[in-house]
């Protein structure tokens, strides 16, 4: 029976690795947005490393390759989180989104180098952090669901990513139990089969994904496209007028609020903003106006004494953190750094 479980486990791991390789190939397609391609490739690499590293039999067979594979597997949950925020919130691969991977890798390396008597405690902490990032990934999926303007992403959120997060949480429970000394022969085969099913599901979704899911974001509005009929043009004109009147300044503004004021259902307004104005999520649509206004306020000498926090609240942000993040993603610098570059140097007294 033990040999049969081992054989089935190896088959499951092979299936998982093959599916991940297929997913990685799908992320390399030319139609994919650069950030999603990079995050998807990192996610696949990290998960393949985990599939290899979590098998003692593979460990003993690959020799020195254990070292790079083990290193790549340490931050796998962080790469999963990175993939989620890049795909579903259009966030870039940058220091602000790579820190979960860096944290998990650092904690994992500490566990590898720690004395034997404290090693289990460090790995329990590592697994709890993995679980925390998985829970947050699920929160990200739910938080931005309503504001997602890309229909294919909206349909993908619930069934697939909820399953993925459930898998990671279950895996963390197994790993925590093993770190505490509770281990059953069926842990690894069950984990391998769960991983195989999860990877097959991912391959089925991403190999057939439409360009809308991965495609590049439009950089210029295009309300005059030939496919825009008179009724849609009227809705977009009313939307533009509403936004010009300052609707974007309202804290907590939702697409439902705008749809109600325009007298159209949300499911009609979403594709209009996405297809004809080029925005993939509602927050980006609103923040585009806010960032333009923020840059003007930060560059205005008359408002040099107005704090950055006051500007954020005035523009409809509920707190300073989201404002700083949105501003830096749009401009590459923080609001404070932007204001500093706009300040004219005081000339030296020639006398």
Listing DSSP states for 185-200 in one string gives: TTHHHHHHHHHHHHHH
Is the sign of the CA dihedral 255, 261, 267, 268 positive or negative? negative
pLDDT of residue 346: 43
pLDDT of residue 215: 52
At residue 281, what are phi and psi to the nearest 5 degrees?
-145, 155
d(CA 186, CA 263) in angstroms, rounded, equals 57
pLDDT tens by residue, 261-303: 999 999 899 989 988 888 888 999 999 999 999 999 999 989 8
pLDDT tens by residue, 224-243: 555 678 888 999 999 999 99
Beta bridge partner(s), residue 281: 148
How is the chain split into domains, by residue range? 2-214, 230-342
Instruction: Flag the least confident range among 26-35, 90-99, 131-140, 311-320.
Output: 26-35
pLDDT of residue 330: 87
Report the SS3 class of residue 284: helix
At residue 316, what are phi and psi to the nearest 5 degrees?
100, 0
* pLDDT confidence bin for 108, thresholds 50/70/90: very high
d(CA 97, CA 104) in angstroms, rounded, equals 13
Fold of 2-214: Rhopdopsin 7-helix transmembrane proteins (1.20.1070)
pLDDT tens by residue, 112-145: 888 877 777 898 899 889 888 888 888 888 888 8
**Stated pTM of the model:** 0.79
pLDDT tens by residue, 43-83: 999 989 988 887 877 877 888 888 899 999 999 889 989 99
pLDDT of residue 213: 63
* Residue 113, both tokens: 């180098």
CATH code for the structural domain at 230-342:
1.10.10.60
């Amino acid at each position: 029976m033990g040999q049969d479980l081992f054989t089935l486990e190896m088959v499951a791991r092979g299936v998982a690795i093959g599916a991940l390789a297929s997913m990685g190939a799908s992320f390399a397609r030319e139609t994919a947005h650069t950030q999603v391609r990079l995050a998807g490739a990192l996610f696949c690499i990290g998960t393949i490393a985990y599939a290899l590293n979590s098998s003692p039999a593979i460990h003993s067979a690959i020799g020195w390759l254990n070292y790079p594979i083990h290193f790549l597997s340490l931050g796998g949950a962080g790469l999963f989180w990175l993939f989620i925020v890049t795909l579903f919130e259009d966030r870039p691969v940058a220091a602000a989104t790579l820190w979960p991977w860096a944290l998990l890798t650092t904690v994992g390396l500490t566990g590898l180098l720690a004395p034997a008597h404290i090693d289990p405690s460090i790995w329990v902490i590592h697994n709890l952090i993995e679980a925390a990032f998985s829970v947050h990934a699920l929160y990200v999926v739910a938080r931005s669901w309503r504001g997602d303007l890309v229909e294919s992403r909206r349909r993908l959120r619930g069934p697939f990513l909820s399953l993925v997060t459930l898998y990671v949480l279950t895996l963390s429970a197994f790993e925590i139990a093993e770190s505490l000394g509770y281990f059953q022969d069926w842990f690894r085969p069950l984990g391998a089969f769960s991983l195989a099913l999860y990877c097959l599901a991912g391959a089925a979704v991403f190999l057939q994904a439409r360009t809308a899911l991965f495609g590049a974001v439009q950089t210029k509005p295009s309300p005059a496209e030939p496919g825009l009929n008179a009724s849609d043009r009227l809705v977009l004109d009313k939307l533009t007028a509403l936004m010009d009147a300052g609707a974007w300044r309202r804290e907590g503004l939702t697409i439902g609020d705008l749809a109600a004021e325009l007298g159209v259902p949300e499911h009609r307004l979403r594709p209009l903003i996405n297809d004809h104005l080029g925005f993939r999520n509602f927050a980006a649509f609103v923040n585009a106006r806010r960032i333009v206004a923020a840059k003007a306020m930060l560059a205005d000498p008359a408002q040099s004494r107005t704090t950055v926090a006051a500007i954020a609240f005035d523009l409809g942000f509920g707190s300073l953190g989201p404002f700083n993040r949105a501003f830096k993603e749009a401009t590459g610098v923080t609001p404070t750094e932007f204001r500093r570059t706009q300040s004219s140097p005081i000339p030296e007294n020639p006398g």
